[in-house]
Amino acid sequence: MDLTVEQNCPSCGAAIELHEADRLLQCSFCGVRNYRISRGVTRFVLPDKAPEHIPREELFYAPYLRFKGSVFYCKGKEVQHRIVDITHLGVKTTALPLTLGLRPQAMKVSLLAEENAGYFFRQSVKAVSIVEMAAQLTVLDSEQNTEPFYHRAYIGETISYIYLPLYIHDNILYDAVTNSRLARSGPSDELKKKSRRFQNQWIPHFLATLCPSCGEALEGEQDSLVLSCHNCDSSWEEAGGQFRSLPWQRVPSQHKDVAYLPFWKIEVKASGVVMENFGDFLRLTNQPLVVRPEHDRMPLCFWIPAFKIRPHIFLNLAKNMTVTQKRLPAGEATMASGLHPVTLSRTEAVQALKTVLAEAALNKRDVLPLLPGLSFHPLATELVYLPFIDNGHDLVQEQTMLSVAGAVLRSGRSL
C-alpha cells in the first residue's frame, strides 16, 4: 500500500500531491524545491468531514501505527523473506476499529499540520508491538517449522502514524471521516484527560535545496535520500536537520544511454568469527573459486543496493555484487546523467549485512548457526554508482554482467 499525500508548498502554499516516500517537493506553481527533513516518526491524518458546528480545535485524533517493509530471517538452513504492510490501532479501546481497512488506499492523506490542533489520544500500544506483529506474520513463527532460528532483520522498513479524526456530539463518539456513530463516550472532558494537545515537533520541516558547498541547486528525484550537485560534483544526505557531504564515486562507462544504479560499499570489521578480509569471506561462504593472495589483500567489503527492490532480488544483487566485487574498477567523483535515486539509507544497508552473508553461504547449515554470535562494525561507507546497460528488457551491469529487470526496478520505488 502506497499512500497518496496532499501537502501545501512550504514556500507559496499551493497544493502538492506526492507519495509517502517522497522527500523532495517541487511546486508546479512557484517552482521552488524543498526537502522534507526526517524528524522521528512521520505522521499522517485522514481527511475529515466533521459538521460545521464542531470546532476544529475540538476534534480528537486516534493514532494507528503502520509498519511497512521487508522482513528477512534465517532459520534452519534457509534464508526467507516477506513484504509486510500492516496498520493497527495504537490505543487500547473497544470503541474504535483495530485497523483502518482500505481507507488509506482509497483516499488521500495529509501530513499533520497546525490545522489539526485538536486532542490526540495518548498512545498506549508501543511501536515495538507492531514490529513484533510484523514478525508474527512471517512463517518463522509457525509452530510447524521447528528448525532453529538464527537471525531476523527489518530492511527498508518505515513506521508511521495515521490519525483517524473523531468528534463528540451529545456524548456520542463519531467517526469524522464518515460521520458515522461509533460508541457512547461520555463527556468530552473525560476524553481530553486521556489526550494531549497538538505538538509543534510533529510538523514536518523543510530544507532549501541549495548545495552547501557552492550554492547551486541540488538535483534528485522526489523519493531521493541523496541529492547531487552537478556544479561541484558533490553528494549530500540529510542528517540532524542539515545536509551532510557524502563520500561517493561513479564507475564510468564507454556506452551511451547507461543507467547508474547506486550501491553502498561498506567496509566492515567482523567479530565473533574469523573473517578479516575478502579472502576470508570467500572461504567462509565456500565460494566455488580459488582464493588467491590478492583476495586476502582486499578489505572485507559488502556491496548493498542503495535502492528498494523486491526482497529476493535485493538479496541476489547484494550477494552477487559482493562476491564479484574484484571485477569492479575504481570510480571517479564526476557527475553524469542517468543516476538512479538512492531510496535505501546506509543505516538500512548495514542492517542487511548478516542476511547477505547468510545468502552468500553455499554451506548454510554451517554458516547460519554463526550469525547470533557475529557482529559487523562498519569502518567506512561509500556510495558507488555502477553502470547498467539497458538491453530493452533488463539492465545489465557492465563489469559483472549481473542483471535486473527494468520493470522490477520501477516497481521497487513503491515498496
Q: Is 331 exposed, middle or buried (0-12, 13-18, 19+ CB in 10 A)?
A: middle
Query: Is residue 16 very low, low, confident or very high in pLDDT (cuts 50, 70, 90)?
Result: confident
Domain boundary (145, 167, 202) is at 202
Query: Is residue 189 very low, low, confident or very high in pLDDT (cuts 50, 70, 90)?
Result: confident
Considering the domain architecture, whether residues 261 and 159 belong to the same structural domain is answered as no
Q: Counting runs of H as helices and runs of E as strands, what totals does the chain give?
A: 10, 23
pLDDT at 143 over 60: no
Q: What confidence score (pLDDT) does residue 350 get?
A: 96
How many other C-beta atoms are found inside a 10 Å radius of the C-beta of residue 200? Answer: 7
Pairing of strands 149-169, 172-175: antiparallel
Residue 128 belongs to what domain range?
A: 49-91+116-202
Q: Which residue has the higher pLDDT, 226 or 85?
A: 226
Considering the domain architecture, whether residues 121 and 259 belong to the same structural domain is answered as no
Q: Which of 139, 122, 11 is nearest to 60 (CA)?
A: 122
Q: Which of 73, 149, 69 is nearest to 354 (CA)?
A: 73
Considering the domain architecture, whether residues 76 and 137 belong to the same structural domain is answered as yes
Model pLDDT for residues 104-119, shown as the tens digit of each residue? 888 999 998 888 889 9
Q: Which residue has the higher pLDDT, 270 or 254?
A: 270
pLDDT at 140 over 60: no
Considering the domain architecture, whether residues 322 and 402 belong to the same structural domain is answered as yes
Considering the domain architecture, whether residues 399 and 251 belong to the same structural domain is answered as yes
pLDDT at 191 over 90: no
Considering the domain architecture, whether residues 252 and 148 belong to the same structural domain is answered as no
The predicted model gives 133-152 an average pLDDT of 68
CA distance 161 to 372: 32
Model pLDDT for residues 74-94, shown as the tens digit of each residue? 988 889 888 888 888 999 888
Query: Is residue 139 very low, low, confident or very high in pLDDT (cuts 50, 70, 90)?
Result: low
Domain boundary (202, 235, 262) is at 202
The predicted model gives 360-378 an average pLDDT of 96
Considering the domain architecture, whether residues 358 and 270 belong to the same structural domain is answered as yes
Considering the domain architecture, whether residues 391 and 272 belong to the same structural domain is answered as yes
Asked whether residue 165 is assigned to any structural domain, the reply reads yes
What pTM was computed for the model?
0.91
Asked whether residue 228 is assigned to any structural domain, the reply reads no
DSSP string, 363-386: -HHHHGGGGGG-EEEEEEEEEEEE
Q: Which of 398, 305, 392 is nearest to 353 (CA)?
A: 305
Considering the domain architecture, whether residues 255 and 196 belong to the same structural domain is answered as no
Asked whether residue 221 is assigned to any structural domain, the reply reads no
If you average pLDDT over every residue of the chain, what do you get? 90
pLDDT at 394 over 60: yes
CA distance 67 to 77: 27
Please give the tally of structural domains in the chain.
Answer: 2
Lowest mean pLDDT among 153-162, 232-241, 255-264, 333-342: 153-162
Asked whether residue 25 is assigned to any structural domain, the reply reads no
pLDDT at 62 over 90: yes
Q: Where are the beta strands (DSSP E) in 51-148?
A: 60-75, 78-89, 109-111, 119-121
Those residues with Cβ within 8 angstroms of residue 322's Cβ, 6 or more apart along the chain or in another chain: 281, 301, 302, 303, 356, 360
Name the residue type at position 161: Y
Question: Is residue 170 within a helix (H) or strand (E), and if so which, with residue range?
Answer: none
Lowest mean pLDDT among 147-156, 160-169, 258-267, 363-372: 147-156
Considering the domain architecture, whether residues 146 and 278 belong to the same structural domain is answered as no
- Highest mean pLDDT (candidates 171-185, 272-286, 388-402): 272-286
Asked whether residue 237 is assigned to any structural domain, the reply reads no
Considering the domain architecture, whether residues 333 and 253 belong to the same structural domain is answered as yes
Q: Where are the beta strands (DSSP E) in 291-398?
A: 301-305, 375-390, 394-397
pLDDT at 124 over 90: no
Considering the domain architecture, whether residues 62 and 121 belong to the same structural domain is answered as yes
Asked whether residue 173 is assigned to any structural domain, the reply reads yes
Asked whether residue 143 is assigned to any structural domain, the reply reads yes
Asked whether residue 107 is assigned to any structural domain, the reply reads no
